[in-house]
Amino acid sequence: MNRTVLSSTLNTSIDPQCGVCSARFSQPATGRPQVYCSRACRQAAYRARQTVKHALAESTRLRDSLYAIRLEFDAASRHLAATLAVRDSVAPDAPRQDLGGGWETEVAMSAQQLRLLADRIHETVNDHSQIAYRYRSAGRVLRTGTELTRS
């Protein structure tokens, strides 16, 4: 029988596959069973696990932050709508004592607050998108699902 075929058949059935690069490697005769083929792959897996851990924590923080911003946004948009409603409650053709000034400043300030909150939502979502990308990249390094939960 062809030696290469025999060897690869044996390797497939016996030798473990590296958790990072998928290479088959020989388990050392003594000591703890190895999961990775080399020191480099073991370090890559460690870094990936750290990235995953960090990404999970960052994701939680950003989503908490987004929730708080949403509450502020809700309140600010209701305030803006209410401010505009007060202005609208005066019929357009009603005789005016004056121009009804004053509401512009409040509407402008309220609209500005909404814009700042929208900017914060935008930034937070962008940050989360980057975190999610790093999380997925790290997940690809750790091919097996069990590695993701290891600390």
Q: Please report where in the chains the tokens 């924590």 appear, as a residue.
A: 57
Nearest Cα to Cα of residue 53 among 139, 140, 144, 130: 139
Residue 57 tokens read as 């924590």
Q: Of the candidates 15, 16, 21, 66, which one interacts with Zn ion according to CB under 5 A? A: 21
Asked if residue 31 lies in contact with residue 44, where contact means CB atoms within 8 angstroms, the answer is: no
Closest contact distance (angstroms) between CB of 112 and Zn ion is: 54
Piece in contact with Zn ion (CB under 5 A), picked from 14-22, 101-109, 118-126, 141-149: 14-22
By CB under 5 A, the count of residues binding Zn ion is 6
> In this structure, which amino acid lies at residue 18?
C
How are the residues of the chain apportioned to helix, strand and coil, as percentages rounded to the nearest 5?
70, 0, 30
Please identify, using beta-carbon distances, which residue of 17 and 59 lies nearer to Zn ion.
17
Q: Is 44 in the site for Zn ion (CB under 5 A)?
A: no
Asked if residue 48 lies in contact with residue 138, where contact means CB atoms within 8 angstroms, the answer is: yes
> In this structure, which amino acid lies at residue 110?
S
Please identify, using beta-carbon distances, which residue of 43 and 105 lies nearer to Zn ion.
43
Closest contact distance (angstroms) between CB of 149 and Zn ion is: 20
Please identify, using beta-carbon distances, which residue of 20 and 131 lies nearer to Zn ion.
20
Piece in contact with Zn ion (CB under 5 A), picked from 34-42, 63-71, 88-96, 121-129: 34-42
Interface residues with Zn ion (CB under 5 A)? 18, 20-21, 23, 37, 41
